[in-house]
A and B are shown apart, each in its own frame.
Chain A
Amino acid sequence: MKKVLLMALFGLVAAAPAYALDGTEILARVDRHLEPPSYESYRKLINIEPNGSEKDYVLFTAKKGRDKILAVFLSPASEKGRSTLRLGDNMWLYVPEVGKPIRVNSLQSVVGGIFNNADILRLDYSVEYHVASVIETPDNQYLLSLKAVNGAVAYDQLKMWVNKTKFLPTKIECYTATGLLIKTLHFSDIKDFGDGIVRPAMVTTDSPLYKGYKSVMLYAGVKARTFRDEVFTLDFMPRADTLLPH
């Protein structure tokens, strides 16, 4: 009897890493399907209020590796020239009028509304989360339960629904450590950006904390591009717009 129990226990222990590895592999594939390892993109962020009024922002984004990302505002005029930089857990905001980068954190929002800095300067999911569990849903999706690797990550837990054939997320729910739902991201409008980059061009966000409000993020011009590491430094932030193609 003891032998049987030991074998069963061994079987469970041996099976667990294999299951976790599958989840990790799924998450890594999601990261690479969403973006190349080093790329540029344009994004439009639209905040929609319950009365239908809108305000939008356009950003040019440069990302390199798993933890370096820089974004510069191109529009509206009131925000033009602002840039935000993320190096791992470090985040800074440069405002031309203020004249120097200041530290900001992932829960603040440089644009207001539902998108916060962590959404705008998102690192690879596999950098910030490990897979706690994965199940297959009846509608042919993986449901990954993700847990933040440390307390510096904006959302403690994520539930990510992933299309099984395309390895692209369809929906992500973001939770606090206490299990409070903060926001939900809906991915749609899968578009071929060329060079093998096929990803959702639209992310819609809603939040029970902002009832009736929505924020939309549109992607365009996503393409692989290499950058020097020095692009991702405080000194470069005032000159971030020189990265724009002309």
Chain B
Amino acid sequence: MDPQTTSQTTIAAVSAASSQAAGAAVQAVSGASQAVVHTGFALFLDKVYYFIMVPFVYISIIAMFIAIIWKIVSILSTPAPAFTLKTFPAKKHPMLAALGDTFGMPSIRKRKPLFWFFLMWFHVGILFLILGHFDLFPNIHIMPEASRDMVGAGFVGVSVTVPAFYFLFRRFKGQEKQISVPADYLLLLLLLFTFLLGDMISWGNSWTANGFVMTKADFRNYFGILSSYSFADPRTVLHGSHYHFIVLHVLLAELFMIILPFSKIVHTFFSLPLNILRRK
């Protein structure tokens, strides 16, 4: 047997053993939690948790898309500017230049390289973050099926968290402080706490003595409930005390989605059209 095969066999054996052990533990916990019948405030909390984890997910996604579409339509229904707003020298390929402005942010790179570094890090991180969440849907497989980690094994979460701290701290000094409004801080805090809770779920929950409390497979089961519209209680697939953090993470993400179309995050959609205005 070659070393690689030996290694794979060992991993398979360990994985099977831990899986069995984990399965037994989950069944025990699950059985225990099923055995508990909540009443009073605990019952109320269960209902609130359920609302956050299932119906409100759909509500916030639908609200976000409706508001974005409404916003785009309301902008498109207004008259286009009557004259060019471009700056010179004119670019040979204005569309390519606008794409470069939007995704490369050369004006920032030229003048504030550190800010640009964090912005690029953040935006690339966001892309991977979206991919990481898509990977949780049952029919999408970006990471290997057997992997216990989400995409990036926790690094993606850190990749958005660190720049978010930078974005927040830079607003506490100089002209950045003077030009900031409360919404800027609150939005960054919302993002930051969403990311921190995400870090805790995707990465931090592996820090226990026994390894992962929850694995990607558990999150995939939850996403399976959402994508199948079964309206099952996520508590049946997400066990343990980390559930509270997941609920909070999902709630903050929902709030973010709801306010996105009404916040400056609309630059996600409007950055390119604006740069086209500058170039064409």
- Is B a genuine binding partner of A? no
Residues of A within 8 A of B (CB): none
> Which B positions have Cβ atoms within 8 angstroms of A?
none
